[in-house]
Structure 1
Amino acid sequence: MDPATAARRSLEGLALGDAFGERWFPLFRPPRQAYAEIRARRTPPEPFWHWTDDTAMALGILRVLDRHGEIRRTELARAFAHGHRADAARGYGRGMHALLPRLLQEPDRWPESARELFDGEGSLGNGAAMRVAPLGAWFHADLDRVADQAVRSAEVTHAHPEGIAGAVAVAVAAALSARHELTLDAVAARTPDGAVREGLARAAALPFATEPWKAADALGSGGRVRADDTVPFALWSAARHPADLVSALWTTAEGFGDVDTTCAITGGVVACRTGVEGVPAVWLDRREALPGAGGRA
């Protein structure tokens, strides 16, 4: 499969997971009701499922890859900033609201600007991980390049090593999914040392028969909005259902937490292998269209 086609398949799954996961926030239904509907596998009834900043930033990555065939960080900074200016109400986090307007004015200063976030520590959030699966799909034939390009895509906004490690883990998982080789041990082996890698090791030791809510309790499901609290559970869900995108998304939603982000990660990874062909038509019709495509992929 050529890089652009592989990346677009991943993007379709990422956007679907993002929009599907967003349905379960209190804005749309109380938590108790949401959890009951997830356990009952009841399709959200809203006629329009909008995606969030997860997809908006993934689109920025894909635009740079389409234009240059690789990550060029100043160009990526510019793409992220323009996406934020076009629609800042997509659910961007506090750090991105602070960073992206600065990058709009001075995109070439991304190294200093990213490092200055959070009192000079840089962001260790899940934002670099949530958007990166299409990049892993693009470079899936070369796992070393996947990791290198994931680092480059992450450090534009996430200077903290854990934020970068989360992006590497998800990109590697997406590439392995596209190759039909996804295992948590293989992802952990290519993830930099630290809390994300340790979380992946715990996920690899967790039986797939574990109930999703118990897995989320053990691994974290994004409630702390950190890469190490998000990526292991999302990838556990993906590895649990590597050939079934719908089941993977329901499993991920059952973990609650930062549901749009965990489902975006899971969806982007699993769709590298499956595409969205097995997804109910009503889901695809309700999901907000992506640029250059209709509601259905």
Structure 2
Amino acid sequence: MNGGVGVARDSLEGLVLGDAFGQSWFVRDAEAGERWLAGRVLRPGPWKWTDDGAMAIVLYEHLVRYGEVREDALAAGFAAEYARDPYRQYGASMHEVLERIGAGEGWRAVTAEQFDGQGSWGNGAAMRVAPLGAWFRTDLAMVVDQARRSALATHAHPEAVAGAVAVAVAAALAAAGRGGPAPSRPEFLREVAARVAPSEVRTLLLEAAALPAGTTVRKAADRLGSGWRISAPDTVPFALWCAALSPDDLPEALWRTVEGWGDRDTTCAIVGGVIAARTSLSAVPAQWRAHTEAIPARRP
């Protein structure tokens, strides 16, 4: 299936930009950080992307090559990228997972053994998946299936899969709505939740949809979490709530998202990938793009 290559590339570029922007806001001086954020003072460049961007690039290149998710090849691709550059802020469990897959162990056994046989419920499958949603945007059943497959290559826990499905569906809806009016925040979040299996992720998406219109970002982060636990339930509902606040204004959405602090590179990566699937990066200031580490040329 050829899919939406150009739209998926827009989503990838938004994801990488969001990742790098969010990562730049891990500042040592919290009080100064609050002042800079209140004044919307950009952090100095260059902004380096993290494991969010690294794994999203692998997933996008995989889709360009195969047109679908092939779990064995995708897991091998993630492991090869990790071996090439393991210093991209990978989560603690992913070091072991990707090292073992790279050494030749089967991904199914490796991922299933994590966390006493439960598998990882981290946000790593969700953080990278937006370009996949954009790619398959015309077929939501395909989006759900392919997102699930992409998640299982590294994350066996149902909550991690639910988080990946939610982000992929959100990106697909955003991409499919290009050129038309954006849905309301509750409508968008409920439509995403309708495609997610019963889970904590789904429950919190519906809670996010029910938050009053005047809810502040900090209040939403308190209610939903903003990635402090690095889990899919703690990350995805908040990130998609933020994306739904400013669906046609990527820079504004990223400023709002980082107000929640938490796992800000990942929440901003998700927001960037979803909104850019709808808007591209055409309205992103040139300075932001100049600050952001470039996506490397396609690799075999």
**TM-score exceeds 0.5:** yes
State the Cα deviation string for residues 230-282 of structure 1 (Å, max 9, x = none): 00000000011111101110110000000000000000000000111111100
* Aligned match of 1:16: 17
Q: In 2, Cα distance between the equivalents of 1:34 and 1:280?
A: 21
Deviation at 1:24, TM superposition (A): 1.1
Residue 143 of structure 1, aligned match among 131, 140, 148: 140
SS of the residue corresponding to residue 153 of structure 1 reads helix
Deviation at 1:2, TM superposition (A): 5.5
Within 5 Å, give how 1:1-297 maps onto structure 2.
Answer: 3-26=4-27, 29-44=28-43, 46-106=44-104, 109-180=106-177, 183-292=188-297
Deviation at 1:170, TM superposition (A): 0.2
SS of the residue corresponding to residue 116 of structure 1 reads helix
Contact 2:3 2:67 survives alignment (8 Å): no
Where do 5+ consecutive residues of structure 1 fail to align? Answer: none
Q: What amino acid is aligned across from residue 50 of structure 2 in structure 1?
A: T
Change (3 A) 1:5 1:179: same
Q: In 1, Cα distance between the equivalents of 2:288 and 2:148?
A: 33
Deviation at 1:160, TM superposition (A): 0.4
Runs of 4+ in 1 over 6 A off after TM superposition: none
Q: In 2, Cα distance between the equivalents of 1:256 and 1:67?
A: 36
State the Cα deviation string for residues 192-217 of structure 1 (Å, max 9, x = none): 10100001001000134211111111
Q: In 2, Cα distance between the equivalents of 1:142 and 1:290?
A: 27
Where do 5+ consecutive residues of structure 2 fail to align? Answer: none
Q: What amino acid is aligned across from residue 166 of structure 1 in structure 2?
A: G
- TM-score, normalised relative to structure 2: 0.94
Q: What amino acid is aligned across from residue 19 of structure 2 in structure 1?
A: D
SS of the residue corresponding to residue 230 of structure 1 reads helix
Q: In 2, Cα distance between the equivalents of 1:2 and 1:168?
A: 17
Q: In 1, Cα distance between the equivalents of 2:237 and 2:24?
A: 22
Contact 2:3 2:136 survives alignment (8 Å): no
SS of the residue corresponding to residue 296 of structure 2 reads coil
Q: What amino acid is aligned across from residue 158 of structure 1 in structure 2?
A: H
Deviation at 1:36, TM superposition (A): 2.2
The share of aligned pairs that are identical, in percent, is 54
Deviation at 1:32, TM superposition (A): 2.0
Q: In 2, Cα distance between the equivalents of 1:208 and 1:65?
A: 37
Tell me which moved more, 16-25 or 175-184.
175-184
Q: CA RMSD in A?
A: 1.3
SS of the residue corresponding to residue 64 of structure 2 reads helix
How many residues align? The count is 289
SS of the residue corresponding to residue 200 of structure 1 reads helix
Tell me which moved more, 34-43 or 245-254.
34-43
- TM-score, normalised relative to structure 1: 0.95
